[in-house]
Every structure is written in structure tokens, then in C-alpha cells.
């Protein structure tokens, strides 16, 4: 199994380290020729969604990435990665890949509460969660499963092979969300 990590900007190293600790081969996606190669899953890290969205277009990675996601490659977006996937962003006129049927709210916790740590359930198991100028999910479409709710706000969702968290599991030493994603990739590999 080989997982590609989008390495244009933001917290990508932390994802690579966790995957490597779990014995998973990783692959850095930095330019067009990288997205054209074969890999079994892809991670879109946290960072700044507008900058990442712009770079995806400038580097001509955007269209092929959308195509891969539409063709059902498992994808995991954290924080800005969730915003890249969202079909609509309530407080931003931009959208990016727009493959995940959610309406997200950007920088949703305001300035004071922009960053915080908490413990909450992910897929029915309590895990540590780190939020940094995080979005949350305001609305989900049909077929979107809610995996975490914190203070009444949806912060983790899954739609088929797309997984997204408003928090940063790569900034904690709990590997549960990565393991959940690795299982998605494994299951998908069985079907192709």
C-alpha cells in the first residue's frame, strides 16, 4: 500500500511521520508528474485552504486530483483538507475540489476559540483532538456519515471513500483516525 500526501503547504510532514510509523509507504505529491503516478490513497493536510487551492491550480494538479477522487480513490482531508473537499463553504465564495457533500464553515470558532484541544468520540471511541483555526461542518448531504460531534458541531464525516476531519489527528500521538483511513484504503484495494 502506498499513500500519497499532498505536500504543497501546511502540516504534511506530521502525516508522513505517522504513516511511516505505522509501516505504510508514503509518496509526496508536489507537482503534476507526482499526481500522475499510482498510489492507493491520498491525504490532504491542514494549512491554508485558499493557498492550497490556488497552488493546486497553478501546478496543474487540480483536475487530475478531482478525477482520482471521483474515481473513488480513498482521500482523507484534515482541517484545510476538509475545506478543499467541501462542496460548499458557507462563509467563503470559493470552493475547491468540491467532491464531498457538506457545507463547511471556515474559521468557525472565532478568534478567541480558534485553537483548542479536547477529548471526544471518533467513530464511537474517545480520542484527543487538536483544532487550529478550524472549520466545522454545518450541513451534511444524504449519504454522509457523521463520525464526530464536539459541542454540538460536526467535526468528522465520511462519504464513501472520502474522510474529513476538522481537527488534526496528525498533531496528537493517537493513530486511530489514520488507522481508520488505512482500513478504508485496504478495503478499497480488495475491490479493485
Q: How far is the CB of 78 from ligand GLN (least distance, A)?
A: 7
The verdict on whether 170 is a catalytic residue reads: yes
Q: What is the dihedral of CA 7, 15, 69, 93, to 10 degrees?
A: -70
Does the protein bind ligand GLN through residue 132 (CB under 6 A)?
Answer: yes
Cell of 163: 474522510
Cell of 114: 480558534
Active-site hit among 79, 93, 96, 139: 79
SS3 158: strand
* Of residues 29, 21, 36, 41, the one with CA closest to residue 183: 41
The verdict on whether 7 is a catalytic residue reads: no
> Which one of 30-38, 42-50, 139-147, 154-162 is the stretch in contact with ligand GLN (CB under 6 A)?
42-50
Does the protein bind ligand GLN through residue 104 (CB under 6 A)?
Answer: no
The verdict on whether 28 is a catalytic residue reads: no
SS3 165: strand
Q: How far is the CB of 153 from ligand GLN (least distance, A)?
A: 15
SS3 78: strand
User: What Å distances lie between residue 18 and 2, 96, 159, CA to CA?
Assistant: 13, 26, 23
Active-site hit among 7, 14, 96, 170: 170
Residue 40 vs 109, nearer CB to ligand GLN: 109
Active-site hit among 14, 15, 96, 168: 168
Binders of ligand GLN among residues 69 to 88 (CB under 6 A) are 79-80, 83
- Interacting residue with ligand GLN among 116, 133, 138, 146 (CB under 6 A): 133
Does the protein bind ligand GLN through residue 4 (CB under 6 A)?
Answer: no
Residue 94 vs 186, nearer CB to ligand GLN: 94
47 contacts: CB under 8 Å, gap ≥ 6? 8, 9, 10, 11, 12, 79, 80
Does the protein bind ligand GLN through residue 105 (CB under 6 A)?
Answer: no
Q: Which residues are catalytic?
A: 79, 168, 170
Amino acid at each position: 500500500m502506498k499513500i500519497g500526501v499532498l505536500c504543497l503547504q501546511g502540516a504534511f510532514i506530521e502525516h508522513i511521520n505517522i504513516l511511516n510509523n505505522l509501516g505504510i509507504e508514503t509518496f509526496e505529491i508536489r507537482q503534476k508528474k507526482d499526481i500522475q503516478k499510482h498510489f492507493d490513497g491520498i491525504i490532504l493536510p491542514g494549512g491554508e485552504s485558499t493557498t492550497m487551492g490556488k497552488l493546486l491550480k497553478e501546478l496543474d494538479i487540480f483536475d487530475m486530483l478531482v478525477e482520482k477522487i471521483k474515481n473513488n480513490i480513498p482521500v482523507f482531508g484534515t482541517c484545510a483538507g476538509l475545506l478543499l473537499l467541501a462542496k460548499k463553504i458557507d462563509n467563503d465564495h470559493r470552493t475547491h475540489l468540491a467532491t464531498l457533500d457538506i457545507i463547511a464553515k471556515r474559521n468557525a470558532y472565532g478568534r478567541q476559540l480558534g485553537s483548542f484541544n479536547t477529548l471526544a468520540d471518533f467513530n464511537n471511541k474517545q480520542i484527543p483532538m487538536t483544532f487550529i483555526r478550524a472549520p466545522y461542518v454545518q450541513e451534511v448531504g444524504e449519504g454522509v456519515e457523521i463520525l464526530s460531534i464536539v459541542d454540538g458541531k460536526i467535526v468528522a464525516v465520511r462519504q464513501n471513500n472520502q474522510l474529513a476531519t476538522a481537527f488534526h489527528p496528525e498533531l496528537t500521538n493517537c493513530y486511530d483516525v489514520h488507522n481508520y483511513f488505512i482500513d478504508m484504503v485496504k478495503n478499497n484495494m480488495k475491490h479493485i
